[in-house]
Structure 1
């Protein structure tokens, strides 16, 4: 994959550099004569955080213009100073950056592309270098979007040793999908349009600060969603055979492909060759063969002949209500399909990499007879295994990952776990971190998590580890959480106890939670609000409220820390309101009526309206879940599980 391992610590350091010190001229930030958007924005971010830390606003100048009097120079981007120091940004790996001491200051210069600095598809090495420097030198931490979530320790003086190093992100791709596409049928329950726009921008800034991006332009999605319309009439044999019929089982339904069909395999490669000839981009080295978002269902003799032996424990850790129940393990047929497509594509490009998912009834690892290779990139996509897990369940999921790693394929995490939890204080931070580190230790090369539901005030530890481990994969989870808690000042111990309470609660309620979801026919990602009152009853909030009251008392003389504690309290208020509404309006209760929950629903809507610009959570995502969970005044087509 052409990965460059990132040595975050232990770099060689040069002479000390004074950036800001009382009585001395502050440093100047120097940009290239014609800076690109990335370096310009990197300078803005540097100035912003130094001002937050010291109260001093650094002056930004461009090379080739008259320099005002100042202290050291902080050269940002592809400056002449960088080139004079031997940094050729064109020779750096995509997204890599260099730190280099020079006679009058130091250089941060990286591999950048033209385009918007906040666009995660744009290489932003210089920006990543600035963030790295801010973390290491100024100890900046980004807890959640917005100013309140940006923790910048106060410094009277900033004196930094200048590292001489070249660094690049650990993973070829770091992606957490933004969760901004969820739309509710009840706009009053979500963001107003202006607030949504501002929230989206604040979240984009936050994601970039955590170095979301990609060193390779991977291209993948469910690849065949429009194929029935395009090719179904002429080539029905390319599509699933179910109950003697080719194609979708009903109009508009998703469908899988007849992956054993050689003509279908050749068509995939033919279309890839056409795109490759047309655009000639680096992305053409990747061939998307991701099946549609459905189980592999084809029952034809040729597909069945490719299947391996059925594992005894194939369905042991799926809910009894899962669509997987009664399914047939088809992993081997998909592995053989990928190899066949790859063999054909290699006639054009020997270095082509096939991007695929393991999914539903081909998530279980292949039989021992299957050998893949490092030019098959598998997105590990479990459709079960929500956190927290039992030890036995956890071991089963690890065995699946290890089984795929043994095939020789490259793996990336494509889990949907982050969709769990609604806006409740559903904390599973340590188990997530353990799994992440296990995957890193067994060869994970990229990430793609779906999706960031943005429940910052109730699920902060989950999200913080999700972000920080992608730039610090070897770091201890508890040490990273101490960074998070430390931003609450004198209330750090109380905030730690608060989230520890919720994590212990979620773990001890694991079996009850699973049973409730089964009994009430609710989805962990779509209709969580059907069961919120059962998983988080009113009594569960009382100990948490006491802990936050103690936290507030501890920081009564620290305005910023007090605001952060209040941020957590508001998230708890919303969760408690939502639990109450769920008990009155849940679709799981045949006696629920809109009238029964009208007053509580109005109180929740008023709360969200009053706090929609404090970013305590993504209100649109919560409202989308509520659409499919509660009884509303008018019947709706999406009131399903």
Structure 2
């Protein structure tokens, strides 16, 4: 969904991916005769009784046009629109749309058409009943509105909330001439929202107040939909399939479970366990339960069967599983740190590839259209080596067990090569990394390296995404997060063009803001050895105990140059009220990072000299700052507090203790 000038002529052609609900992108055109209308002359038209998704689309269109022009266009139904001397924008399944041979209900799920006609501009898509902000609700008309706003009005959504909504001021509304039918590039576009951290806080005062938590969740969900996150159909997968099976079936079918040191099942009561994935009885039971849930029934949407093992290394030592294994690749341990549990683990990818293939083939006897979902994960992350071939009815979640950014060049190339190896098996792939749990509330920028990773996956067959998770540090990690959003609609666009959109939201301070984030990206990329040694020394985790190490990675002296660059940005923004506010937003994010560094230096569990008394005022200052700024959405304070809970030494009665066994470095 590329932003075009009115003079552009663009053909967007997407290869049809097959399967119900998946459609190719059709031709998109904008000619060299753009049309414009005074804001007061525009009216939005919907059909009487239209779905909630269309009503919401009308609200969103009116809001953004008012933000551009100062005039809010009225929203009327078609009966009221007859005879109006106005420029009309028809939304949804209207008579005008049907007269133009546009029937949204006949389009594929999430697909829309935007077309200029003699009657007016028509935006109509496949719209389902339900909450338009729910990722499972097909909201084609809404997506069409967002596409039109991006293309013709230059709207950008930089971060959640009013301040992050960039709409260029205009006296007239530019329409252009358009004829485009588009479907999302990926059948699932998912960034896990990171909204469940508050329930686990020992120190909720470090996070949002409950009311702010709710408000942030709403603003973020609006933002995610504006970037067209959602799914064409629901797919079910993950580590929950077998969690309770030992309690249910351990006594009657111990052969379905891992054999380790001559014993079936968990090593100790309650411990995690892997399955004996070569066992035919296990395959039959998985298919039987899927069939019982209705998976074998023919329908308009594809059926999926979950073949994802529990969240643990593949450990089974039985002869049948070992017979399914391929030879370990020579670089098996090259990019895993010695303390990481992957280092030295048995290479078991081929058994898991054969497992998902066996489940798919068995299920296909009941429903030929079924797709089996497996993971590339832990010690079955690297691609198969035995020559096993999969097929397009197998969907593999590419979920690296390490590979955090920043990477050295050879390491970065290696991770992309692992994707390529899986792609050559014939399976379809989707990107499911944990990388956006990284960074805490620090100015930790890996924008270009992440984008290169993402675009490599897209060029080599990525069909869906699932990113874990959105920790929402908008004011310090803005460029990386903007790319995460924007690449879902513009996966082939030059990265610096997308970043220019983000920086353009800072108006006259765009150049200085780019210099500010360029500084932090260089700092992040240049300090890869420091970053990794800090986590190794302190036995900290990239996703859970980051707050043990920010003072090691971001010492006080690194902030001075950044502050000077923000001073230059503030000077350049003078006279532009929105630009001034957005630069201040970045400054507030930097202030929080500095306060977090001060608290971490005094309270970290990895420092035996840290005490609650030493850090009491530092924590109080951080809490005061967050209370004063919690409605600005500079970051998800609940996530920051969750990391701090697990990283810092607070009061004696709540002091965390280190586990008996050393923590793995990149768990």
Report if TM-score (shorter chain) is over 0.5.
yes
Number of the residue aligned with 1:118:
133
Further displaced range: 127-136 or 622-631:
622-631
Further displaced range: 276-285 or 367-376:
276-285
Q: Deviations over 1:65-109 (max 9, x none)?
A: 465844111000111111111012122111000112332212100
Contact 1:99 1:162 in 2 (8 A): no
- Secondary structure of the 2:487 match is helix
Structure 1 CA distance, aligned partners of 2:116 and 2:81?
Answer: 22
Further displaced range: 275-284 or 504-513:
275-284
Number of the residue aligned with 1:382:
400
Describe the shift of the 1:123–1:457 C-alpha distance in structure 2 as closer, same or farther (beyond 3 A). Answer: same
Contact 1:485 1:495 in 2 (8 A): yes
Number of the residue aligned with 1:33:
48
Q: Does 1:554 align with 2:569?
A: no
What does 1:137-536 align with in structure 2 at a 5 Å threshold?
137-183=152-198, 184-222=201-239, 223-276=241-294, 285-536=303-554
Further displaced range: 420-429 or 63-72:
63-72
Further displaced range: 228-237 or 119-128:
228-237
Describe the shift of the 1:440–1:33 C-alpha distance in structure 2 as closer, same or farther (beyond 3 A). Answer: same
Number of the residue aligned with 1:104:
119
What does 1:545-624 align with in structure 2 at a 5 Å threshold?
545-624=563-642
Q: CA deviation at 1:567?
A: 0.2
Number of the residue aligned with 2:5:
none
Structure 2 CA distance, aligned partners of 1:67 and 1:185?
Answer: 60
Structure 1 CA distance, aligned partners of 2:352 and 2:174?
Answer: 56
Q: Does 1:50 align with 2:65?
A: yes
Describe the shift of the 1:385–1:451 C-alpha distance in structure 2 as closer, same or farther (beyond 3 A). Answer: same
Which residue of 617, 622, 625 corresponds with 2:643?
625
Number of the residue aligned with 1:635:
654
Q: How does the TM-score come out when normalised to structure 1?
A: 0.97
Q: CA deviation at 1:37?
A: 0.8
5+ unaligned residues in a row in structure 1: which ranges? none
Structure 2 CA distance, aligned partners of 1:253 and 1:423?
Answer: 33
Structure 1 CA distance, aligned partners of 2:335 and 2:183?
Answer: 38
Q: CA deviation at 1:488?
A: 0.7
Further displaced range: 276-285 or 241-250:
276-285
Number of the residue aligned with 1:82:
97
Describe the shift of the 1:399–1:375 C-alpha distance in structure 2 as closer, same or farther (beyond 3 A). Answer: same
Describe the shift of the 1:70–1:148 C-alpha distance in structure 2 as closer, same or farther (beyond 3 A). Answer: farther
Structure 2 CA distance, aligned partners of 1:638 and 1:376?
Answer: 43
Q: Deviations over 1:450-501 (max 9, x none)?
A: 1000000000000000111110011111011111111111111110000000
Contact 1:97 1:129 in 2 (8 A): yes
Q: CA deviation at 1:592?
A: 1.2
Describe the shift of the 1:538–1:436 C-alpha distance in structure 2 as closer, same or farther (beyond 3 A). Answer: same
- Secondary structure of the 2:79 match is coil
Contact 1:587 1:629 in 2 (8 A): yes
5+ unaligned residues in a row in structure 2: which ranges? 1-16
Structure 2 CA distance, aligned partners of 1:30 and 1:283?
Answer: 31
Aligned length: 637
Q: CA deviation at 1:283?
A: 5.8
- Secondary structure of the 1:161 match is coil
Describe the shift of the 1:192–1:70 C-alpha distance in structure 2 as closer, same or farther (beyond 3 A). Answer: farther
Describe the shift of the 1:383–1:527 C-alpha distance in structure 2 as closer, same or farther (beyond 3 A). Answer: same
Q: Deviations over 1:363-404 (max 9, x none)?
A: 011015110111101010001011111011011111110000
- Secondary structure of the 1:122 match is coil
Q: How does the TM-score come out when normalised to structure 2?
A: 0.93
Contact 1:121 1:214 in 2 (8 A): yes
- Secondary structure of the 1:356 match is strand
Structure 2 CA distance, aligned partners of 1:449 and 1:89?
Answer: 30
- Secondary structure of the 1:276 match is coil
Structure 2 CA distance, aligned partners of 1:401 and 1:322?
Answer: 21
Contact 2:45 2:89 in 1 (8 A): yes
Contact 2:191 2:466 in 1 (8 A): yes
Further displaced range: 79-88 or 450-459:
79-88
Describe the shift of the 1:212–1:266 C-alpha distance in structure 2 as closer, same or farther (beyond 3 A). Answer: same
Contact 1:272 1:284 in 2 (8 A): no
Further displaced range: 69-78 or 118-127:
69-78
- Secondary structure of the 2:464 match is strand
Further displaced range: 433-442 or 280-289:
280-289
Further displaced range: 97-106 or 416-425:
97-106
